[in-house]
């Protein structure tokens, strides 16, 4: 009987064990909370869609997650959905558009088709074909045959261009997927690389639209 009693007592967890378990759980929660705070503060940023410029890919009031580290490690790539500070006065609001051309690319739009380096783009994300023609030539962006005004659009001066018909080094050409209802590079010119904030990678809300964003 004494042996059974001793065995029973030895099988009981020490009184300190529940406290240790609570402390371990708290430590895990604290680490998780600090990691989440770090991600939200320095790596991932939420971004609400304020306009129809990216329909149908993005709808008004969609909540995106934006990777703010991406463009510190690599340059924006064609097809990516990027958040950036626009080269025009936006009241402090950031913009979200799709990268269509990177430095060195040629871009043209004719008869509703976007051409990159002479090849037509396949754009299943496009809401409707653009109702304007566009070309990059003679060190400027021409829309329906007229160059953008460098006083109101970001068109760098001639010395910064490497070729008269290619996107200058350090600049990018962006368009909204809702081509005819988007203020983008066909209105205010190129986006300098330093203006990019991050790459949108996920629609988080509403839950019915939860999905990864692909290039």
**Annotated catalytic residue, options 51, 53, 90, 135:** 53
* Per-residue b or e along 31-46, where b marks 16 or more CB atoms closer than 10 Å to that residue's CB: eeeeeeeeeeeeebbe
The residues, ordered by sequence, that sit 6+ positions from 71 with a Cβ below 8 Å of its Cβ are: 82, 193, 196, 197, 198, 199
Considering only the top CATH level, what class is 49-212?
Answer: mainly beta
Whole-number Å distance between alpha carbons of 68 and 200: 9
Catalytic residue flag (residue 53): yes
Q: What is the pLDDT of residues 23-68, one digit of tens each?
A: 555 545 444 333 343 344 448 999 999 999 999 999 999 999 999 9
Question: Is 97 a catalytic site residue?
Answer: yes
Instruction: Report the chain's terminal Cα–Cα distance, integer Å.
Output: 73
Q: What is the pLDDT of residue 40?
A: 46
Whether the predicted model's global pTM rises above the 0.85 cut: no
CB atoms within 10 A of CB 192: 16
pLDDT at 35: 37
Instruction: Give me the pLDDT at residue 50, please.
Output: 93
Catalytic residue among 10, 25, 51, 97: 97
What is the number of residues in the chain? 215
């Amino acid at each position: 009987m004494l042996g059974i009693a001793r065995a029973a007592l030895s099988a009981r967890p020490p009184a300190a064990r529940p406290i240790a378990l609570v402390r371990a759980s708290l430590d895990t929660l604290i680490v998780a909370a600090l990691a989440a705070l770090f991600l939200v503060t320095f790596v991932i940023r939420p971004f609400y869609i304020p306009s129809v410029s990216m329909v149908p890919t993005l709808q008004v009031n969609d909540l995106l997650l934006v990777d703010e580290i991406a463009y510190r490690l690599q340059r924006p790539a064609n097809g990516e959905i990027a958040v950036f500070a626009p080269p025009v006065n936006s009241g402090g609001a950031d913009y979200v558009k799709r990268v269509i051309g990177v430095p060195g690319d040629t871009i043209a739009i004719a008869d509703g088709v976007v051409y990159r380096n002479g090849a037509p783009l396949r754009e299943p994300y496009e809401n409707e074909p653009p109702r304007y023609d566009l070309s990059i030539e003679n060190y400027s962006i021409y829309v329906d045959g007229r160059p953008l005004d460098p006083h109101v659009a970001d068109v760098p001066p001639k010395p910064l261009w490497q070729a008269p018909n290619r996107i200058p080094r350090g600049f990018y050409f962006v368009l909204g997927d809702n081509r005819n209802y988007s203020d983008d590079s066909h209105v205010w010119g190129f986006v300098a690389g330093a203006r990019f904030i991050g790459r949108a990678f996920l629609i988080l809300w509403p839950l019915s639209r939860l999905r990864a964003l692909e290039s």
